[in-house]
Chains A and B, each alone.
Chain A
Amino acid sequence: MPLDPLSSTFAALADPTRRAILARLALGETSVMELAKPFDMSLPAISKHLKVLEHAGLISRGREAQWRPCRIAPDSFKQVDGWLGNFRRFWDESFNRLDGLLEEMKAEEAAKAPPRSNRKVSNPKVRVTKEKQRGRTRG
């Protein structure tokens, strides 16, 4: 099954070792030897993970030096980041709109049943505010 670029990116990100490698690379480029240090893994095993990351376009490996430094490929991450934000953005936007609706619901209920204690005072300011609101709810 051919993977689209984002699918291979997510497949690469699904593995905790690979995420740890990326976290290390976020601090700066380094060699395979350095990367392997914190893991209880052979160099070939680490190399295999690096190949997956490279194939997914998440890292690039230098050709210029003997030790082929590994570094993060920033463009690829930007693409992922845009896509990853969807779920949060959906709910963030929805809940922000819900805030506005709740304000209306509160105002509606207050208008229907004004508390008696406030009524007696007959505060002219309150009336002004209400009229303003009514005028504004055209749209």
Chain B
Amino acid sequence: MDARVDKTLRITTPSDFEFAMTRQFDAPRRFVFDAMTKPEYLVRWLGCETLAMPVCEVDLRVGGAYRFVFRSSEGIEHELTGTYREVVRPERLAFGETFSMPGFTSDEYLVISTFIEEAGTTTLTTTIRHPTKEARDGHLNSGIDKGVAPAYDRLAEVVAGMG
């Protein structure tokens, strides 16, 4: 089967406390896993064009910590820190994470990534579980998606059409 790789990022809400991102990659899962866990790779892809990543530290073992700092062009720093809970190369990665920026620090949420490989294509599913629905919605509010507010999405389309 010529597996066409679907590179669309899909965001869903499997439960009130969670949301999930799914994305396919045209590469074996060991590459995807390494790219997500080794600083020399992470600094090359994680973040937007406009965000520098001055700090990228990873202690990849159960109980080990990581710290990523992003700096915007205005000098505002956003930080992701966490502790690895499960490290099973190349199939599963779980960590507890906290997001912080000036004036705001999130509660810790759990991030579980599974890497499924089929015919050289890797499907990455990342589930992000928050302690409360409010916290999850707050996280997603930086990118509310179809599962969260279908009404809003339709609306956005209509409004966009109104010019």
Contacts and interface: CB of A to CB of B under 8 A. Distances in A.
B149 A19 contact: yes
Interface in B117-146: 137, 139-145
Q: How large is the interface on A (under 10, 10 to 19, 20 to 34, 35 or more residues)?
A: 35 or more
B143 A106 contact: no
Interface residues of B, number: 38
Contacts of A94: 45-48
B45 A90 contact: no
Given A22-B155, A92-B9, A101-B45, A10 B35 contact: no
Nearest to A108: B31
Interface stretch (A39-47, A76-84, A111-119, A121-129): A76-84
B27 interface: yes
B151 A87 contact: no
A24 to B, nearest CB: 9
Contact of B35 (A27, A77, A86, A105): A105
Interface string B141-163: 11111000101101110111010
A58 to B, nearest CB: 9
Best-surrounded residue of A23, A85, A86 (most CB of chain B within 10 A): A23
Nearest to A13: B152
Contacts of A85: 143
B143 A102 contact: no
A14 B149 CA distance: 9
Contact of A105 (B11, B31, B139, B162): B31
B57 interface: no
B34 interface: yes
Contact of B34 (A26, A89, A100, A105): A105
Contact of A84 (B41, B144, B151): B144
Contacts of B11: 88
B44 A77 contact: no
B35 A84 contact: no
B57 to A, nearest CB: 18
B43 to A, nearest CB: 10
Interface string B1-31: 0000001010100000000010101111001
B35 A14 contact: no
A85 B143 CA distance: 5
Sorted nearest first, the 4 A-B pairs with minimum C-beta distance are A87-B143, A23-B151, A87-B142, A102-B27
Given A19-B152, A99-B7, 9 more contacts: A19-B149, A72-B158, A81-B156, A81-B160, A87-B142, A95-B45, A97-B45, A98-B25, A101-B41
19 contacts: A13-B149, A23-B154, A23-B155, A74-B159, A84-B142, A84-B143, A84-B144, A86-B142, A86-B143, A91-B23, A93-B48, A94-B46, A95-B45, A97-B44, A98-B35, A102-B25, A102-B27, A105-B34, A106-B27
